[in-house]
Chain A
């Protein structure tokens, strides 16, 4: 009977390999999901007002990490503009490891989809949010809990199939 063991093990292995073909090894789940948004205290990109996650408590908010040096950020820009039109969603941008003027002129050139943009030259907020590839997008519920993380540019499909339904759901949730 032991002679069938290699065959059985092999077919088990094939199952995993077949599953592996449809997985993306470079896509990482965030350990922050269902945890309170990591705190930060950052200045606005445009003036001296300061913001922290509590500033947005009570609202569903989207936290988009972007930079003027990030090419993929241009790709997802139209989707952010669409998100900006949603009622009851606060759009917060994190200008990550950028130069103040570059960040500003990028928004002037492509349009500002954010309600608030905070600026982090050092990138330590990015590290606290586990950012490893810009752009990344987080969605927080009304209690300030991280509910979703998107890595890489948001596509139209991502927007329609994942983000919009989730945002509607979070808006409906009671505090």
Chain B
């Protein structure tokens, strides 16, 4: 049986899990600063520019984002994004602009829509099933197969196993 102290430990751990999940899942504010070859009005704009060039795919390349690619097209698109950022456009507006021309393929973060539900939610649904399965495995075991060995006996067995 789970005693109270144990429950406290479990609760604290659960809270720890929740806090960390919450904290780590918050949109990370990018620590990157300005590309000084380009001039920006604010640090936010500079950060947005860098984030976007990392989020969009260079279509011509094998598998590279716009920031890492030396291709001509990547340079052009970087310029487009730069102009849009300077003009105060948001991430979504710029993404829409590119998707209208190149399709969803240009986005490294696939949009959440009907065809990508499985992609975005599949892992967590699987996790749910796996945890239910694991839970049933633990709780469905016949617990009266053998008389409960005493602590000392159990300890001795453990030592033997080590």
Contact = CB atoms under 8 A, between A and B. Distances in A.
Nearest to B101: A130
B103 A29 contact: yes
A28 B105 contact: yes
A125 to B, nearest CB: 11
Nearest to A122: B76
B17 interface: no
A31 B103 CA distance: 5
Interface residues of A, number: 14
B60 interface: yes
B73 interface: yes
A56 interface: no
Interface string B89-109: 000000000011111010000
A31 B59 CA distance: 14
Interface of A: 28-32, 38, 97, 123, 127-130, 132-133
Contacts of A28: 59, 102-103, 105
A28 B102 CA distance: 8
26 contacts: A28-B59, A28-B102, A28-B103, A28-B105, A29-B103, A30-B103, A31-B99, A31-B100, A31-B101, A31-B102, A31-B103, A32-B101, A38-B101, A97-B72, A123-B76, A127-B76, A127-B77, A127-B80, A128-B101, A130-B102, A130-B103, A132-B59, A132-B73, A132-B102, A133-B59, A133-B60
A70 B6 CA distance: 71
Interface residues of B, number: 13
Contacts of A123: 76
Contacts of A127: 76-77, 80, 101
Given A32-B101, A97-B72, A127-B80, 19 more contacts: A28-B59, A28-B103, A28-B105, A29-B103, A30-B103, A31-B100, A31-B101, A31-B102, A127-B76, A127-B77, A127-B101, A129-B101, A130-B101, A130-B102, A130-B103, A132-B59, A132-B73, A132-B102, A133-B59
Interface in B27-60: 59-60
A128 B76 CA distance: 12
A127 B105 CA distance: 15
A19 to B, nearest CB: 16
Interface residues of chain B: helix, strand, loop or mixed (majority):
helix
A24 to B, nearest CB: 13
Nearest to B72: A97
Contacts of A97: 72
Pick from A97, A123, A129, A130 the residue with the most CB of B within 10 Å.
A130
Contacts of B102: 28, 31, 130, 132
B58 to A, nearest CB: 9
A38 B102 CA distance: 13
Interface string B53-80: 0000001100000000000110011001
Contacts of B73: 132
B100 A132 contact: no
Contacts of B76: 123, 127
Contacts of B101: 31-32, 38, 127-130
